[in-house]
Amino acid sequence: MMFRLSKIMLLMLLISFAGKTEVIRLASSNYYPHYGEQLAQQGATIEIIRQAFALQGVQLEIEFLPFARALYESQQGNYSGLVAAWYSEQRTAHFYYSQPLYANQIVLFKRKTDIISFHNFQDLARQHRRLGVVQGYMHPAGLVESGIKTIQVATDEQALAMLARQRVDLVPADLLNGLYLLENQLPQHQQQLDWLTPVLEQRPMYLVLSKKDPANQQRIEQFNLGLQQLRASGKYQQIIDTLLPQY
């Protein structure tokens, strides 16, 4: 009787573990309107990640931090990973990269009253232009090599405010992010700023998981499978259409 009872208890325990949902913690910055603490479902990017993982039986916990800290803490393995990052060879030493989520359009924001023409960043350096850049972000190709003067800040909002106040001359930023911040966080500067065309680059965002945890290699494969399923179901495009504003 005791043996049979033990077998039943063991079976119930195995069923309990089999049905248990895995929970992972991700760090995130606020990168409006793509993802952020105050957005519906915390934004399109996080909702895509959440739904793709859910299809694989994985739940998310998100903690919001300034980008540089979120990147560092994820790299150190204090979180399973970072909600979204751009690709760089340097970061592949520390992170597993997912399939691309979707791309940011990187442009140069400027003051409307400034007439700026250039062929490359060396031209801007010769014009003694100053760029406001967010600490920890990847720079557009050729920017660092040009020797152009950059002033680092903690957030995109700070960079755009500095541009409006003539403390910098240009700010490389995602177009939707810049327009969202000007409309919602910096309306006093909205009529002062615009951006240069054409777009500098289309820069995909990726989920990145820390290599400090060997289990993350399998998790990134799970996520990629879930992302493919999400696209095939039509829910991926529904999330984009519902949660990502178009200007």
Per residue in 191-238, pLDDT tens?
999 999 999 999 999 999 999 999 999 999 999 999 999 999 999 999
- Residue ranges of the chain that CATH labels 3.40.190.10: 23-102+205-243, 104-203
Domain boundaries 104-203, CATH class: alpha beta
In angstroms, how far apart are the furthest CA atoms of the chain?
Answer: 88
What is the per-residue pLDDT for 5? 47
Instruction: Write the pLDDT tens digit of every residue in 93-109.
Output: 999 999 999 999 999 99
- 11-20 long-range contacts, CB within 8 A, separation 24+: none
Question: What is the reported pLDDT for 9?
Answer: 53
Closest by CA position to 58, among listed 81, 84, 33: 81
Q: What pLDDT digit, counting tens, does each position of 221-230 carry?
A: 999 999 999 9
Given this model, what pLDDT does residue 16 score?
Answer: 44
One DSSP character per residue, 174-202 reads EHHHHHHHHHHT-GGGTTTEEEEEEEEEE
> In this prediction, what percent of the chain has a pLDDT beyond 70?
92
pLDDT at position 6 is 54
pLDDT value of position 8 = 52
DSSP lists the bridge partners of residue 110 as 194
Task: Check residue 184 and give its pLDDT.
Answer: 94
| 7-18 pLDDT, tens digit each | 555 555 444 444
Mention the CATH class of domain 23-102+205-243: alpha beta
Residue 135 pLDDT more than 70?
Answer: yes
Mean pLDDT over 53-64 rounds to 97
Residues 6+ apart with CB under 8 A from 19: none
